Amino acid sequence: MNALCFGGSFNPVHNAHLQCSIIAARQAGFNRVVLIPTGQPALKDDDYQIASAADRVAMLRLATKSVTDPQTAVEIDTLEIDRAGGPSYTIDTVRALRDRGWLSVNWLIGADQLLSLHRWHRFEELLTSAQMWVMARPGYLIDWGNVHPAARALEARVLQVPQMDISATDIRRRVREGLPIIGLVPDDVREYILKRRLYIP
């Protein structure tokens, strides 16, 4: 399966999610990006403000329609949301994809996730069940000495993506404070957030 999976809460999906995953996929030789929204994020704080699964999927569908890259298809897979109950664990998703017939599963993470990768559920099994790829932004220095020894082999699979100062946390804050988010998310996603009054207490 010539696809690069990119999981996340996508709360909300934004332009950096889309552009960086497409660039990473191209570098690694994939022609598809599969965005996999989490059901219940496993490592988020209790006060984490998350939109409903239905809203996050709706925003992803709008976002993927905005992608016009001729070389890389972007699609959504809701298998984590469709899985009933409990937190979303990447290893369970990888196993589910293999059960569907995927001969190999390639999974994209951000460089900032490397230091906490050992906290992921059954992470050593994950490292042997999927090919993990790491996207790093310019100037971000990965301290491989502080990365769990089992994950240090990922140094050979680091992909360079452009610096984009966009974060879902900042987008939620801006919406909450009534500040514009033009250019941070696709236009249809922005209109959806405002129409549905998401992230407004």
Q: Which two tokens stand for residue 161?
A: 């993506």
Which pLDDT tens digit goes with each residue over 101-151? 999 999 999 999 999 999 999 999 999 999 999 999 888 889 999 999 999
CA gap 62, 113 in Å, rounded: 27
CA gap 201, 124 in Å, rounded: 39
Contacting residues for 37 by C-beta, under 8 A, at least 6 apart: 7, 8, 9, 10, 53, 56, 57, 60, 76, 78, 80, 81
Task: Report pLDDT for 48.
Answer: 59
- Residue spans per domain, the chain: 4-196
Percentage of residues in the chain with pLDDT exceeding 70?
95
Residue 94 predicted with pLDDT over 90? yes
Task: Report pLDDT for 86.
Answer: 75
Three-state SS at 107: strand
Work out the pLDDT band at 45, boundaries 50, 70, 90: low
Q: Number of H helices and number of E strands within the chain?
A: 7, 6
Q: Which two tokens stand for residue 100?
A: 């569907």
Contacting residues for 18 by C-beta, under 8 A, at least 6 apart: 63, 66, 67, 74, 186
Task: Report pLDDT for 46.
Answer: 46
Residue 127: count of CB within 10 angstroms of its CB:
20
Task: Report pLDDT for 199.
Answer: 96
CATH number of the domain at 4-196, out of 3.30.2130.30, 3.40.50.150, 3.40.190.10, 3.40.50.620? 3.40.50.620
Work out the pLDDT band at 43, boundaries 50, 70, 90: low
CA gap 104, 132 in Å, rounded: 11
Work out the pLDDT band at 47, boundaries 50, 70, 90: very low
Amino acid at 119: R
Which pLDDT tens digit goes with each residue over 155-179? 999 999 999 999 999 999 999 999 9
